Amino acid sequence: MGTTLQLLLAGAVVLLFGWQMKRGRSRQRAAYLADYDFARLLDRRLALRRPQLDAAQRRLVFDGLRQWFALCQHKDGRRLSMPSQAVDDAWHEFILFTRNYAQFCQRALGRFLHHVPAEAMSSPTQAQRGIRATWQLACRAEGIAPDRPSHLPLLFALDAQLGLADGFHYSLDCRDTRAAGGAPYCASHIGCGSGCSSDSCGDSGGSSCGGGCGGD
């Protein structure tokens, strides 16, 4: 009995130590991401790629890029899809700094985050499932109820806020998606809030929920 109890206690100590180590790494990665200066590497390149954006707007894009990587820290095996063309542009530019990007990924995520174009995804519905996962995490990160959103999280609001003609524009009100000039993607369908119907974001394919490239 004494030996069994000792083994149980030893196992509990090992589990507690492992949990504390994991928690410490998570804190270190979160702090590293929070302090990372994306603008130092990317501001000039993003300005060349998106000359219509001023300095304040580019800072918003970098805020979105930081949120994207924060979501990737907590994806727990889920595959996420990118809901912002502007942030995807910044991510593309970051990857070109191969050494910096690899070091960043290791310190912020503990792994290399691959960029997966929609065409390279394993199935036509993977991007849509990824958008749903991104929506859930982004809403929770900003204290928004995913199924009853009061406003759009940054990653889903950014392209419309920047006025990008080629961006992904989302609306909380599905009626706006049917109005002339309305946003093409209905956010409440992603979270299955009010107004969900047979054409909501799911496994039927297509691009009814927006988004594109993913991280793996």
Does the pTM surpass 0.85? The reply is no
> Is the pLDDT reported for residue 28 higher than 80?
yes
Give the model's pLDDT for residue 128. 82
Q: Which of 23-27, 116-120, 140-144 has the lowest mean pLDDT?
A: 116-120
Q: Determine contact, residues 63/100, Cβ cutoff 8 Å.
A: no
Tell me: pLDDT of 203 over 80: no
Q: 């589990």: which residue's tokens?
A: 15
Q: How far apart are CA 84 and CA 106, in angstroms?
A: 24
Confidence of residue 187 (pLDDT cuts 50, 70, 90): confident
Question: Measured between alpha carbons, how far is 195 from 85 in angstroms, rounded to an integer?
Answer: 26
Instruction: Give yes or no for residue 45 having a pLDDT over 90.
Output: yes
Mean pLDDT score, 48-56: 98
Q: Where are the alpha helices (DSSP H) in the chain?
A: 2-35, 38-49, 55-73, 85-96, 98-109, 126-141, 154-162, 187-190
Residue 169 CB-density burial (10 A; 0-12 exposed, 13-18 middle, 19+ buried) = buried
pLDDT at 109: 95
The residue among 35 and 191 whose pLDDT is bigger is 35
Where does the pLDDT of residue 156 fall: very low under 50, low under 70, confident under 90, or very high at 90 and above?
Answer: very high
CB 216 within 8 A of CB 113: yes
For the chain, the average pLDDT equals 80
Distance CA 9, CA 171 (A): 54
| Distance in angstroms (rounded) separating the CA atoms of residues 76 and 22 | 14
Task: Give me 155's structure tokens.
Answer: 């990653």
pLDDT of residue 12: 54
Q: How far apart are CA 40 and CA 94, in angstroms?
A: 11
**pLDDT class of 208 with cuts at 50, 70, 90:** very low
Give the contacts of 49 (CB within 8 A, at least 6 positions apart).
89, 93
Angle between helices 55-73 and 85-96 (to 10 degrees): 80
Above pLDDT 90, what percent of the chain?
A: 52
pLDDT band at 8 (very low <50, low <70, confident <90, very high): low
Average confidence (pLDDT) over 95-115: 95
Q: What is the pLDDT of residue 209?
A: 56
For the segment 74-81, the average pLDDT, to the nearest whole number, is: 84
Alpha-carbon dihedral 112, 119, 163, 153, rounded to 10 degrees: -50
Q: How confident is the model at residue 160 (pLDDT cuts 50, 70, 90)?
A: very high
